[in-house]
């Protein structure tokens, strides 16, 4: 059973139990509005793998988004259960049970999905037939991420033809996402990576359209690069996810020329031990944030650094002369990587100023099937 | 709501949905028995932060353990709810709400807890008085981990006196756990680290007992070092956790002279894309295992290496000449670090041979309050 929330609405932030996942609503709302403005002219389909929270998806759609992306069928189901009517599963779905669930979902919402293999397209067609639905399918093209996706050009054309020739599938365009480019540190590196990706996406789109396969959607882009995709004239739809929260790793990117997104996501933690001068231990460790992108940062405490995490502890180093958090004092940490950190929590504790305004369930927490 | 389990009892392993957390029951049962034999003469109190699963705690106790350790009050509550009658919270508990919950728990089970600060001991006394209970309290001594804990010797004596003089607390001994020693690679390094820790623990115990403060329990030790604690003549109780599962990081330790613990915990994953020769992508990424101790290993696939994880994908590199997993094929990954990986799942899918025998809820998943 999920744990009870660590807070109640109206409660002062100081009383919220720790560790908790905090969302600064003012910063979050500004981030949602800023992206909605920045995407002007293109369809915005934010990635729900970042938040896994229908309450957030509803607010993104209210601000103009056309729907959301998901990575897993169970994540998509949580979004549809939460009232979202248009979900792109921006990923390959493999295995009979998953395909059956995906096709069933298409009875309740507009569902599209990616493929990078003709056999998989055949399996999708079978699942759609069995469920009595028609699925929108995008061909994933590897534009530089070196993960999934067919090669640009002819391989994409062959697969698009297979999709278009499948009775229960509709060819809907190409998926061209360059994940590896999002965290290149300089704007110039990110711009150069997306210029290469754009060449591959454009060439593929042109080839397909020359062959009579209309690419209704060319979809991709993330928080780190969306300006370049939107300026390329190739993409028709943007999929950024992290912009609503931001994190320590995105904070290490350079951002000149980009609109400003603010840190809105924090881990609320208590200083639980201060055994010797210069060392304070907090109650948020490896199970309270994801360490794949390094240690969290300590917000608003100059000279205090999170230097080491173990399962349930974080060790802070306090520089000489800096004020150390006192035992029992609570502080905010900025997670290294927002997406897998959110996936550790059942609740987002949403606050404004110094008090809790709402508790939003992370409904798709753990939904990786 | 927790997701439905990705399997049913009796199902062939091949049909279990992915990603899933698999437990090889034969290996697990041998690990439980091996530790029970190895701890002969000392009390064994396995750490439940590794498994967060009352079904496992019950089996450890049936094999001779005296109870379990937990790190958090909510984790301890999940164990008591699951029928465990003796829980040591091997950690400091700070904050009024948490202390009240801890004291309430002591009405339903034998509950002990650690302190490293006199003010905190006073808060514990208040909480115990308010709940009408008496709490067993251990003084945590820093024997080398440089995390929580008072210094050995006089500081420990002062705190033990404060505890012993508190009306609603009972001084129960010292907590001396050297976490940082567990993953030192050579047996000689681990032995040397515990020899230093033993000197500090012995000196502290002797000082306290000379002053009339009986140390009923000297508790600590982990999977990587327990032989040294048990051989020292100082510790009376052992707290290993990971031995039931093991992981890739423990696999990098040298083990000469130790009993053998087998890998029993795996992530079950599907090869979802094989876009180019030499690269296979699986459906288990940053949200399916913890990467704090590096990438997972691929079990039983020579020449196949997990080289890169992103939120929902893992990229495998297939050496030339090695057999690559085919699209749709399922494989087992050995997680880098077992404890925070288990915390990502709602269910342990327990199998024997090639079929699912049981589904155990990870009842304390996310219980970090």
* Complete edge-to-edge strand list for the sheet that includes strand A86-92: A43-44, A237-238, A217-220, A169-175, A135-140, A110-115, A86-92, A68-70
The pLDDT, as a whole number, for residue A86 is 98
B1: contact with A, CB 8 A cutoff: yes
Chain A partners within 8 Å of B179 (Cβ): 310
Compute the distance between CA of residue A64 and CA of residue A67 in angstroms, rounded to an integer: 9
- pLDDT tens figures, A272-311: 999 999 999 999 999 999 999 999 999 999 999 999 999 9
Contacts of A78 (CB under 8 A, 6+ apart): A52, A54, A363, A364, A367
Residue A2's pLDDT band (cuts 50, 70, 90): low
Query: Within a 10 A sphere around the Cβ of A262, how many other Cβ atoms?
Result: 15
Phi and psi torsions of A65, nearest 5°: -65, 150
B358 pairs with which residues across the strands? B350
Phi and psi angles of residue B281, each rounded to the nearest 5 degrees, phi first: -110, 130
Structure tokens at B312: 């929902």
| CA angle, residues B41, A310, B331, in degrees to nearest 5 | 85
d(CA A211, CA A69): 28
Per-residue pLDDT, A4 = 78
Structure tokens at B348: 């342990």
Alpha-carbon gap, residue A23 to A204, rounded angstroms: 40
Smallest CA-to-CA distance from A250 within A306, A297, A316, A196 is with A297
> Which of left, alpha, beta for B87 (phi over 0: left; psi -120 to 50: alpha)?
beta
Each residue's pLDDT tens digit, B102-123: 999 999 999 999 999 999 999 9
Q: Which two tokens stand for residue A274?
A: 């201060």
Spatial distance between the Cα atoms of A163 and A169, rounded to a whole number of angstroms: 6
CA distance B300 to B283: 18
pLDDT of residue A41: 87
| A286 shares contact with chain B (CB less than 8 Å) | yes
Average pLDDT of chain A is 97
Rounded to an integer, the average pLDDT of A22-44 is 96
Q: Mapping DSSP to helix (H, G, I), strand (E, B) and coil, where does residue B20 land?
A: strand
Cis omega before residue B152 (within 30°)?
A: no
Phi, psi of A121 (to 5 degrees): -60, -40
pLDDT the model gives residue B347: 97
Q: Which segments of chain A does DSSP mark as H helices, in order?
A: 25-38, 54-62, 73-81, 96-105, 118-131, 154-164, 187-210, 226-232, 248-251, 338-342
The pLDDT of A37-52, averaged and rounded, is: 95
A211 CB-contact burial (10 Å; exposed 0-12 / middle 13-18 / buried 19+) = exposed
Helix orientation angle between B187-210 and B154-164, rounded to the nearest 10 degrees: 50
Strand partners, A361: A347
Specify whether the CB–CB gap between A344 and A289 falls below 8 A: yes
Cα separation of A92 and A82, whole Å?
Answer: 23
B20–chain A nearest CA distance, Å: 8
| A residues 88-147 closer than 8 Å to B (CB) | 91-95, 97-98, 116-117, 119-120, 142, 146-147
* pLDDT exceeds 80 at position A214: yes
Say yes or no for a CB contact (<8 Å) between A291 and B290.
yes
Whether residue B272 and residue A92 make contact (CB cut-off 8 A), yes or no, is yes
Q: Are A13 and A355 in contact (CB under 8 A)?
A: yes
Q: Cβ separation of A149 and B327 shorter than 8 Å?
A: no
Q: What's the rounded Cα separation, in Å, for the pair B126 and A328?
A: 16
Distance from CA of B294 to the nearest CA of A (A): 9
User: Nearest CA to A66 among A50, A47, A91?
Assistant: A47
The stretch A339-344 carries a mean pLDDT of 98
What pLDDT does B40 receive? 77
Of A4, A267, A313, A265, the closest CA to residue B97 belongs to: A4
Our CA angle for B308, B311, B312, nearest 5°, is: 90
Cα A348-A291-B93 angle, rounded to 5 deg: 65
Global confidence as pTM: 0.97
Q: Give the closest-approach CA distance of A1 to chain B in angstroms.
A: 6
Distance CA A213, CA A158 (A): 11
Q: What is the 8-class DSSP label of residue B369?
A: -
> Residue A40: which pLDDT band, with cuts at 50, 70 and 90?
confident
Query: What is d(CA B241, CA B218) in angstroms, rounded to the nearest whole number?
Result: 17
Strand partners, A21: A267, A348
B367 interaction partners in chain A (CB closer than 8 Å): 3
Give me the pLDDT at residue B41, please. 87
- For residue B91, CA distances in Å to B117, B146, B180, B251 come to 12, 14, 16, 27
Q: Which residue has the tokens 């502290």?
A: B204
pLDDT of residue B188: 98
**CA atoms B96, B102, B106, B112: torsion sign:** negative
On whether any CB of chain B is under 8 Å from the CB of A346, the answer is: yes
pLDDT of residue B187: 98
Site from B71, B117, B275 to mutate, A interface, most A CB atoms within 10 angstroms:
B275
Contact B336, B249 (CB under 8 A): yes
Radius of gyration over every alpha carbon of chain A, rounded to an integer in angstroms: 22
User: What share of chain A has pLDDT > 90, as a percent?
Assistant: 98
* Secondary structure of A201-224 as H, E, C letters: HHHHHHHHHHCCCCCCEEEECCCC
Interface of A with B in 14-43 (CB under 8 A): 15, 17-19
Low-confidence ranges of chain B (pLDDT < 70): 1-3
Residue A289 contacts B where some CB pair is shorter than 8 Å = no
Residue A347 β-bridge partners: A361
pLDDT reported for residue B2: 53
Q: What is the pLDDT of residue B340?
A: 98
């Amino acid at each position: 059973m999920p744990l009870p929330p660590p807070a109640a609405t109206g409660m002062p932030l100081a009383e919220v139990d720790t560790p908790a996942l905090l969302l600064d609503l003012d910063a979050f709302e500004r981030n949602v509005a800023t992206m909605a403005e920045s995407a002007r002219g293109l369809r915005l389909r934010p990635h729900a793998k970042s938040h896994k929270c229908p309450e957030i998806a509803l607010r993104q759609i209210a601000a103009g988004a056309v729907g959301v992306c998901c990575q897993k069928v169970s994540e998509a189901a949580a979004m549809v259960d939460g009232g979202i009517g248009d979900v792109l599963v921006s990923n390959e779905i493999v295995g009979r049970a998953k395909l059956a669930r995906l096709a069933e979902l298409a009875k309740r919402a507009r569902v599209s999905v990616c493929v990078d293999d003709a056999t998989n397209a055949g399996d999708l067609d079978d699942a759609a037939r069995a469920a009595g639905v028609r699925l929108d399918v995008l061909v994933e093209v590897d534009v530089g991420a070196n993960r999934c996706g067919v090669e640009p050009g002819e391989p994409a054309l062959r697969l698009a033809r297979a999709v278009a020739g499948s009775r229960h599938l509709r060819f809907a365009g190409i998926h061209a996402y360059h994940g590896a480019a999002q965290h290149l540190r300089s704007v110039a590196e990110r711009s150069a990576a997306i210029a290469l990706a754009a060449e591959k996406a454009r060439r593929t789109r042109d080839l397909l359209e020359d062959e009579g396969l209309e690419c209704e959607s060319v979809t991709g882009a993330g928080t780190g690069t969306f300006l370049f995709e939107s300026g390329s004239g190739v993409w028709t739809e943007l999929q950024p996810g992290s912009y609503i929260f931001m994190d320590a790793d995105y904070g290490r990117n350079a951002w000149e020329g980009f609109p400003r997104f603010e840190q809105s996501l924090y881990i609320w933690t208590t200083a639980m031990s201060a055994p010797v001068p210069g060392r304070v231990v907090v109650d948020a460790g490896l199970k309270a944030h994801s360490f794949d992108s390094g240690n969290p940062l300590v917000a608003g405490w100059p000279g205090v650094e999170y230097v080491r995490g173990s399962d349930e502890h974080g060790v802070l180093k306090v520089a000489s002369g800096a004020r150390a958090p006192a035992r029992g004092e609570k502080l905010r940490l900025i997670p290294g990587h927002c997406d897998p950190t959110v996936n550790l929590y059942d609740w987002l504790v949403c606050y404004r100023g110094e008090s809790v305004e709402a508790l939003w369930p992370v409904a798709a927490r753990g939904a990786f099937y």
